[in-house]
């Protein structure tokens, strides 16, 4: 615990120093990145110790806040979330050290790094907090720090707009969270998480209310489907290393909160699990479909975050169904898959956002249809992106496959054993996961193909060059982690039992029994992958040998034998996604403008597609407008002048005094 406090102090102090010094911005960035890296190492040691079987440590300090207590605790569940948080924070900080603020003149990055340190600090506090007031404090600190990071490039109006949407969404979430904590405190008479866990929530009406409050309050941060509106706005607006951090780990604090909430409950009713499966299916399938329709690389990645949160929710849903039906294997595989996917998603989503940031920095192009052919110009970034893309699609032998496989396995096993309705819902999970995986492959084929393959579609893509080592390094580390977890899957799964014991309260034997069923198939998968990799390696060597004595000519990629190919003949992002999108246009909506080619020698033809998030214009905007109109009618209450405000206060004070003493 001392080390964790040291890490927290380091982040706070380092942030302050960076804010105070008016150094040239490169020095400032490296100083801040150094601070975050050291803090991550210092804080990572206890997290690893706890996961490896060390003792659970706690800390209680009095805190001069009503009902508050500076209570921290590091149990395996916290450590499981702490580890990716620290890892990604450090790597994104190194990547961000090369970040240059766009805008008319270079300005000090001091405030940016201050809020970055604050964001890391608050995320660490959120997973460590054992008191509701402290948790809310850290939660709000996280919201505010990330709001300022989203709006770093506030000269652009769309960034300011995204910032407002994010701030509004997170405040709505906090409102529900506040209600949840107040109700819990009313029932248990304490604000202490340990008391809540010990007493537990009685099942019945109140538990249902609390569950709904938790799902909305924490789900807003996580990005569950109807509450996700802020994600596709905020992620493209933020600097890329911040997007990596927010998408990779910050949204997971919502998942952490939900898992922590589950430790307070007794056996959940069946509909909790079904709710989560419903949320997971909607978020997963719709998230990936919308991702497919996007033209902006970072917005596409943001929708994939929603998709992956959906997969995590599916895992949690499977686990909850197992809990309700008393099936330990189902519980272990469902929650285990969800937990592992939290870790995996933080790795590959962080990697993808960092790679997208590298592309963005070198080309200054948001639009996929203006990129192309970057694999030759940015080989490291391209390879790293490819690994991340394969991992997020859930392809073996990478890490994304392992966690999805656990959920698959859990759902299949449950479907075979569980009674009627539960079995049907589990089969739906299997089908949903399959659909999500397939669509994700299509989406990343599009993203990788359009950005990195083919020939450049714009001048900026043609002149792009590889980024510096400070940006390549973190990407390679994350890519290596994705591969390692994939290849060492049976051992990676071996780290789960302590976390699962912490979460579910099952006896260790039951957990090991549940996981044992997964280890066998995983070993087979890993062995097959290893064989595949060896064959691939041999093929590459063979190709090189065959080609070594040949004369090689380099032609235009996808030139198709035309005499004068132009980059405009290539498949574009829109045209690649068009078949899939036309099948699903009933769900997606979206606008298309088509000028079809006409006649024997068509002169001009064009196709524009746009798929905005329908919830924002169709649901939230009208609802919020109505609220705004209602409030505007109360406008006469608001005084025009400072003087009248003070008069109101004085009159209220006088009236109160007269009423009390009169």
Interface residues with another protein (CB under 8 A)?
635, 638, 640-644, 646-647, 649-650, 653-654, 657-658, 661-662
Phi-psi region of 210 (alpha: psi -120 to 50; beta: other; left: phi over 0): alpha
Q: What share of the chain is helix, strand, coil (3-state, %, to 5)?
A: 75, 5, 20
Residue 21 CB, shortest distance to another protein, in Å, is 25
Pick between residue 549 and residue 635 the one whose CB is nearest to another protein.
635
Closer Cβ to another protein, 587 or 651, answer by number: 651
Closest CB to another protein among residues 41, 649: 649
Nearer to another protein, 551 or 632 (CB): 632
Give dist(CA 73, CA 568) in Å, integer.
Answer: 58
Contact yes or no for 538/333 (Cβ under 8 A): no
In terms of CB distance, is 48 or 650 closer to another protein? 650
Q: Which residue has the tokens 């008319």?
A: 104
Q: How many angstroms separate the CA atoms of 181 and 205, rounded? A: 16
**DSSP annotation of 514:** H
Query: Least distance (Å) from another protein to the CB of residue 641?
Result: 3
Give CA–CA dist 394/389, Å, rounded.
9
Residue 223 structure tokens: 């990005």
Does an H or E element contain 461, and which?
Answer: helix 459-462
Q: How far is the CB of 107 from another protein (least distance, A)?
A: 22
What's the closest the beta carbon of residue 631 comes to another protein, in angstroms?
14
**DSSP per residue, 103-144:** SSS----HHHHHHHHHHHHHHHHHHHB-BHHHHHHHHHHHHH
Neighbours of 212 (CB within 10 A): 15
Can you tell me which residue has the tokens 């392809």? Answer: 395
- As beta bridge partners, residue 61 has 70
The nearer residue to another protein, 568 or 660, going by C-beta atoms, is 660
The residue (of 582 and 638) whose beta carbon lies closer to another protein is 638
Please work out, in degrees rounded to the nearest 5, the angle formed at the alpha carbon of residue 527 by the alpha carbons of 522 and 528.
100
In angstroms, give the least distance from the CB of 64 to another protein: 16
Smallest distance from another protein to CB 115, Å = 25
Output 1 or 651, the one with its CB closest to another protein. Answer: 651
97 sits in which H/E element: none
| Between 41 and 646, CB nearer to another protein | 646
- Cα dihedral across residues 615, 616, 618, 621: positive or negative: positive
Q: In the complex, what is the shortest distance from the CB of residue 662 to another protein, in angstroms, rounded to a whole number?
A: 8
Which distant-in-sequence residues (6+ apart) come within 8 Å of 387 by Cβ?
348, 351, 398, 479, 482, 483
Cis peptide before 640 (omega within 30 of 0): no
3-state class of 71 per DSSP? strand
In the complex, least distance from residue 637 CB atom to another protein, rounded to whole angstroms: 12
Radius of gyration of the chain (CA): 26
User: How far apart (Å, rounded) are the C-alpha atoms in residues 307 and 394?
Assistant: 12
In whole angstroms, how close is the CB of 633 to another protein at the nearest point?
Answer: 15
Q: Closer CB to another protein, residue 509 or residue 658?
A: 658
Beta bridge partners of 594: 607
**Positive or negative, the Cα torsion across 543, 548, 554, 555?**
negative
Q: Residue 150's closest CA among 216, 246, 221? A: 246
Between residues 603 and 642, which has the closer beta carbon with respect to another protein? Answer: 642
DSSP string, 324-351: HHT-HHHHHHHHHHHHHHHHHHHHHHHH
CB of 295 to another protein, least distance (A): 37
Report the residue number, 553 or 629, with the smaller CB distance to another protein. Answer: 629
**Contact predicate 262/380, CB 8 Å:** no
Give the shortest CB-231-to-another protein separation in angstroms.
31
To another protein, the closest distance from the beta carbon of 160 in angstroms equals 17
Smaller CB separation from another protein, 41 or 654: 654
Give me the least distance between CB of 338 and another protein, in Å please. Answer: 46
Q: What is the DSSP string of 208-277?
A: HHHHHHHHHHHHHHHT-GGG-THHHHHHHHS-HHHHHHIIIIITHHHHHHHHHHHHHBSSPPHHHHHHHH
528 or 657: CB nearest another protein:
657
Minimum distance between the CB of residue 104 and another protein, rounded to whole angstroms?
Answer: 22
């Amino acid at each position: 615990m001392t080390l964790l406090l040291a890490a927290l102090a380091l982040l706070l102090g380092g942030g302050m120093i960076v804010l105070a010094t008016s150094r040239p911005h490169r020095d400032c960035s490296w100083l801040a990145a150094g601070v975050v890296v050291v803090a991550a190492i210092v804080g990572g040691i206890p997290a690893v110790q706890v996961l490896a079987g060390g003792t659970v440590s706690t800390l209680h300090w009095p805190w001069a806040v009503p009902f508050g207590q500076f209570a921290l605790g590091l149990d395996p569940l916290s450590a499981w979330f702490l580890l990716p948080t620290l890892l990604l924070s450090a790597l994104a900080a190194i990547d961000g050290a090369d970040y240059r603020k766009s805008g008319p003149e270079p300005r000090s990055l001091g405030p940016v790094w201050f809020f970055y340190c604050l964001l890391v600090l608050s995320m660490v506090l959120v997973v460590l907090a054992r008191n509701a007031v402290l948790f809310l404090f850290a939660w709000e600190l996280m919201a505010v720090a990330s709001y300022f990071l989203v709006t770093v490039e506030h000269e652009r109006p769309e960034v300011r707009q995204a910032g407002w949407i994010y701030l509004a969404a997170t405040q709505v979430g906090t409102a529900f969270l506040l209600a949840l904590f107040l109700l819990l405190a009313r029932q248990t008479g304490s604000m202490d998480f340990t008391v809540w866990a010990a007493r537990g929530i009685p099942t019945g009406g109140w538990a249902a209310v609390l569950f709904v409050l938790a799902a909305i309050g924490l789900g807003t941060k996580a990005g569950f489907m109807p509450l996700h509106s802020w994600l596709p706005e905020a992620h493209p607006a933020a600097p890329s290393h911040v997007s990596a951090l927010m998408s990779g780990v910050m949204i997971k604090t919502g998942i952490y909160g939900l898992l922590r909430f589950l430790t307070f409950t007794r056996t959940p009713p069946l509909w909790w699990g079904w709710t989560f499966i419903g949320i997971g299916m909607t978020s997963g399938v719709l998230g990936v479909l919308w991702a497919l329709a996007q033209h902006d690389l970072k917005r596409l990645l943001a929708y994939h975050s929603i998709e992956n949160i959906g997969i995590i929710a599916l895992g949690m849903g499977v686990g909850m169904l197992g809990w309700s039906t008393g099936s330990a294997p189902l519980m272990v595989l469902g929650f285990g898959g969800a937990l592992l996917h939290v870790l995996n998603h933080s790795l590959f989503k962080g990697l993808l956002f960092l790679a997208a940031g590298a592309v963005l920095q070198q080309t200054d192009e948001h639009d996929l249809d203006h990129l192309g052919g970057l694999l030759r110009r940015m080989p490291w970034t391209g390879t790293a992106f490819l690994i991340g893309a394969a991992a997020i699609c859930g392809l073996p032998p990478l890490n994304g496959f392992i966690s999805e496989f656990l959920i698959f396995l859990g759902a299949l096993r449950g479907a075979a054993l569980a009674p009627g309705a539960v079995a049907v819902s589990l089969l739906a999970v299997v089908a949903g996961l399959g659909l999500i995986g397939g669509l994700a492959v299509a989406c990343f084929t599009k993203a990788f193909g359009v950005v990195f393959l083919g020939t450049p579609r714009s001048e900026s893509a043609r002149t792009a060059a590889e980024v510096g080592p400070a940006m390549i390094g973190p990407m390679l580390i994350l890519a290596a982690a994705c591969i390692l977890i994939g290849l060492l899957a049976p051992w990676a799964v071996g780290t789960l039992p302590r976390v699962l014991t912490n979460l579910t309260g099952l006896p260790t034997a039951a957990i090991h029994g549940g996981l044992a069923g997964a280890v066998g198939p995983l070993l087979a998968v890993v062995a097959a992958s290893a064989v595949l990799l060896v064959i691939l390696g041999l093929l590459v060597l063979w190709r090189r040998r065959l080609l070594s004595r040949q004369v090689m000519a380099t032609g235009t990629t996808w030139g198709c034998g035309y005499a004068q190919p132009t980059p405009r003949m290539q498949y574009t992002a829109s045209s690649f996604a068009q078949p899939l999108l036309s099948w699903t246009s009933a769900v997606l909506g979206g606008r298309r403008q088509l000028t079809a080619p006409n006649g024997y020698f068509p002169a001009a033809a064009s196709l524009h597609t746009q798929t905005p998030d329908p919830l924002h214009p169709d649901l939230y905007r009208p609802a919020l407008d109505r609220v705004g109109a209602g409030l505007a009618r109360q406008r006469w209450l608001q005084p025009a002048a400072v003087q009248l405000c003070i008069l109101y206060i004085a009159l209220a004070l006088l009236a109160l005094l007269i009423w009390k003493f009169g």
